[in-house]
């Protein structure tokens, strides 16, 4: 594992950025790193950039008001720290600043990450990028302020320790963070379970209009832009839907789409373990993890869903064939 202090030697300016439309792990890892630099490296002029709306529920984290959401003309920084970004195109408007930086450090846990930094700390077996940032900072340097966003990131990507990416190391690191005195129960409620009234309505619509396919092994649902406008919600409000769909009995893969343009859909996939949805997402120029991945696809709803389901069917058929060969 890299030595974070070595990476920060002689650094005077730093930029920290996560992926567009930041979820809890992108937000948490970026803010955890930013608060660490503020505390232990005050001589570094550091800024954190997050493009796109993040949940208002995250605003309990200290210094959230210092996040920069647009990219003004700035001088190239000494070090650009990329957190939870699986590929350069996931930076959005931050990409030119990454490319212009004197040095780049990529910290991530996506299996699809092509190691695009000058220095890379990519561990696909880690529950979250926030887990990696916690390890790099070290137990003895965690403060309550630093721990809050990092705990948020860990519970976001581990599904509050329910997903298969949760390891004994994840639990140990969660213990480190809890030992700082954070209100871990409140963080779980506010950042993971609590939903706005509008969210409750749009989630209800997505669930009630969901459809089973492939003999009940796939479930999918879609929300169109006109429905988002009607309920007054944005993409960040839709993030729980794919995980809730995945909990349907007998389902191996949940697919959720929301309209992002004319005949364009953002796709979120969740797997219960048999199907590697990261492979499917990568085929459609997306990325992610074995059990959670996404991509952007063009076409009509049925075109998009049928193309994805065909890839799910391929994997399930290969698994079934392999089981039959083993049995014979």
Residues 172 and 215 occupy one common structural domain: no
Which residues fall within 8 angstroms of residue 65, CB to CB, at 6 or more apart? none
Q: What does the alpha-carbon distance between residue 289 and residue 270 come to, in Å, rounded to a whole number?
A: 9
Tell me what the pLDDT averaged over the chain comes to.
Answer: 94
How is the chain split among helix, strand and coil, in percent rounded to 5? 45, 20, 35
Residue 328's pLDDT band (cuts 50, 70, 90)? very low
Residue 289's pLDDT band (cuts 50, 70, 90)? confident
Region 137-161: mean pLDDT is: 96
Does position 104 have pLDDT exceeding 80, yes or no?
Answer: yes
Residue 303 host element (H or E):
helix 301-327
pLDDT for the residue 325 = 56
pLDDT for the residue 162 = 87
Region 225-239: mean pLDDT is: 94
Q: Say which range, 46-60, 138-152, 222-236, has the weakest mean pLDDT.
A: 46-60
Q: What does the alpha-carbon distance between residue 198 and residue 229 come to, in Å, rounded to a whole number?
A: 11
Q: Per the structure, how many domains does the chain have?
A: 2
pTM, entire model: 0.87
Region 31-42: mean pLDDT is: 98
Residue 297 host element (H or E):
strand 292-298
Residues 165 and 245 occupy one common structural domain: no
Q: Are 252 and 202 within 8 A, CB to CB?
A: no
Q: Are 316 and 274 within 8 A, CB to CB?
A: yes
Does position 269 have pLDDT exceeding 50, yes or no?
Answer: yes
- Cα four-point dihedral sign 269, 271, 275, 277: positive
Does position 323 have pLDDT exceeding 70, yes or no?
Answer: no
Q: Which domain, by its residues, includes 106?
A: 4-193
The β-bridge relationship of strands 79-83 and 45-49 is: unpaired
Q: What does the alpha-carbon distance between residue 280 and residue 309 come to, in Å, rounded to a whole number?
A: 10
End of a domain among 193, 222, 239? 193
> Partners of 218 in the beta sheet?
213, 253
End of a domain among 193, 212, 246? 193
Residues 145 and 234 occupy one common structural domain: no
Residues 208 and 122 occupy one common structural domain: no
> Partners of 104 in the beta sheet?
80
End of a domain among 141, 170, 193? 193
pLDDT tens for each residue of 126-136: 999 999 999 99
Region 183-191: mean pLDDT is: 93
Residues 178 and 216 occupy one common structural domain: no
Helices 129-137 and 24-40, interaxial angle, to 10°?
20
């Amino acid at each position: 594992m890299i030595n974070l202090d070595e990476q920060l030697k002689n650094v005077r300016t730093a930029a920290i950025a996560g992926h567009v439309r930041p979820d809890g792990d992108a937000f948490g890892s970026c803010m955890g790193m930013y608060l660490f630099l503020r505390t232990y490296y005050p001589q570094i002029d550091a800024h954190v950039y997050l493009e796109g709306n993040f949940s208002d529920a995250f605003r309990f984290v200290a210094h959230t008001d210092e996040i920069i959401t647009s990219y003004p003309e700035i001088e190239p920084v000494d070090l650009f720290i990329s957190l939870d970004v699986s590929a350069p195109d996931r930076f959005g408007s931050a990409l030119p600043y990454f490319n212009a930086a004197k040095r780049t450090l990529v910290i991530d846990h996506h299996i699809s990450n092509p190691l695009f930094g000058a220095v890379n700390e990519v561990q696909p077996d880690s529950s979250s990028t926030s887990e990696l940032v916690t390890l790099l900072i070290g137990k003895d340097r965690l403060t309550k302020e630093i721990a809050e966003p990092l705990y948020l990131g860990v519970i976001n990507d581990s599904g509050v320790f329910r997903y298969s990416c949760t390891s004994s190391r994840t639990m140990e690191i969660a213990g480190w963070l809890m030992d700082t005195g954070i209100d871990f129960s409140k963080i779980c409620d506010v950042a993971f379970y609590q939903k706005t009234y509008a969210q409750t309505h749009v989630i209800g619509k997505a669930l009630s209009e969901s459809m089973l396919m492939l003999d009940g092994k796939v479930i999918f649902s879609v929300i169109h832009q006109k429905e988002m406008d009607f309920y007054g919600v944005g993409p960040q409000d839709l993030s729980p839907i794919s995980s809730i769909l995945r909990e349907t009995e007998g389902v191996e893969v949940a697919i959720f789409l929301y309209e992002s343009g004319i005949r364009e859909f953002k796709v979120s996939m969740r797997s219960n373990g048999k199907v590697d949805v990261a492979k499917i997402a990568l085929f459609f120029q997306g990325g992610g993890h074995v059990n959670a991945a996404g991509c952007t696809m063009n076409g009509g709803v049925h075109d998009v869903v049928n193309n994805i389901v065909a890839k799910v069917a391929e994997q399930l058929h290969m698994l079934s064939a392999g089981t039959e060969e083993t049995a014979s």
